[in-house]
Amino acid sequence: MKTTENDLIERLPKAVRKRFLALCEPFELVLSAELGVRGKELSHAYFPRSGFISLVIDIDSHPPLEVGMVGHEAMLGSELVLGLVKTPWRALVQGAGSCWRIEARALQKAMEDIPALQDVMKRTLMVRLHQQALSSACERFHPIEQRLARWLLMSQDRADANHFYVTQEFISLVLGVRRVSVTKAAGDLKNDGIIQYTRGQLKVLDRAGLERKACTCYEADKRLSTILMNEKN
């Protein structure tokens, strides 16, 4: 698996980046590990370098639903920017990899001491809010095949590879649909030669084809995220 650096950390000025990394420690993202529990205090914030994390909400007796995804472009623990230490969702490692992590209170103290760090953290919080709003609209208005294509593109972006592990059961959970609907949508993509899927191992064969199948939310999310992260104060 390719290992990158975290995009947020890379945005920091060199001296600030060095100072911040001195407060962090390397940490392995193990597949299916739970890094955050709804209503419980966050012990750390995580900055993925490879792999990705799903943010999942549990509502009453309904199946869990994914409301966000964190890869090397973002961080887990953006609510700490608001001075909060409890998380509103579960955080599950969906793609194994590596990250930097920092104790929650150490991050909050660092943001008080380092204005450049605080600015980057606030921007990523805005991106997260946008992603969740767009995800809600996407779930309401777009058909399952378009949403599946979008989710696979987002997963591939964060996996930095054309193949990754994912079960149909998990996809049905994160998209909030029945497994039979995922089976049909994935089958259509497979029959079109866009993906290959065997026993949890998914491979993207035709990236351009997958982009054509995806709803407009995929490009809209990327475009607005770029604007928010680069907007001048």
Q: Which of 83, 114, 139 is the last residue of a domain?
A: 139
The proportion of the chain whose per-residue pLDDT surpasses 90, expressed as a percent, equals 46
Q: Does residue 63 sit in the same domain as residue 118?
A: yes
Specify the number of domains making up the chain: 2
**Residue 233, domain member (yes or no):** no
Task: Report pLDDT for 106.
Answer: 94
Q: What is the CATH number of the domain that holds 11?
A: 2.60.120.10
Q: Which of 109, 139, 169 is the last residue of a domain?
A: 139
Q: Does residue 163 sit in the same domain as residue 86?
A: no
**Residue 229, domain member (yes or no):** no
pTM of the model: 0.87
Q: What is the CATH number of the domain that holds 182?
A: 1.10.10.10
Q: Does residue 25 sit in the same domain as residue 99?
A: yes
**Residue 82, domain member (yes or no):** yes
- pLDDT 10s digits, 52-83: 999 888 777 776 778 888 999 999 998 888 88
Task: Report pLDDT for 233.
Answer: 58
Q: What does the chain look like in DSSP terms, one character per residue?
A: ------HHHHHS-HHHHHHHHTT-EEEEE-TT-EEE-TTSBPSEEEEESSSEEEEEE--TTSPPEEEEEE-TTS-B-GGGGGT--B-SSEEEEEE-EEEEEEEHHHHHHHHHH-HHHHHHHHHHHHHHHHHHHHHHHHHHHS-HHHHHHHHHHHHHHHHTSSEEE--HHHHHHHHTS-HHHHHHHHHHHHHTTSEEEETTEEEES-HHHHHHHS-THHHHHHHHHHHHHH---
Q: Does residue 126 sit in the same domain as residue 154?
A: no
Q: Does residue 170 sit in the same domain as residue 182?
A: yes
Q: Does residue 17 sit in the same domain as residue 80?
A: yes
Task: Report pLDDT for 149.
Answer: 94
Residue 96: what are its φ and ψ, rounded to 5°? -60, 150
Task: Report pLDDT for 4.
Answer: 63
Q: Which of 93, 114, 139 is the last residue of a domain?
A: 139
- Name the residue among 70, 213, 66, 29 with its Cα closest to residue 154: 70
Of residues 63 and 138, more confidence is placed in: 138
Q: Does residue 66 sit in the same domain as residue 152?
A: no
Range of the domain at 199: 143-214
- CA distance linking residue 127 with residue 223, whole number of Å: 11
Over range 172-182, report the average pLDDT.
85
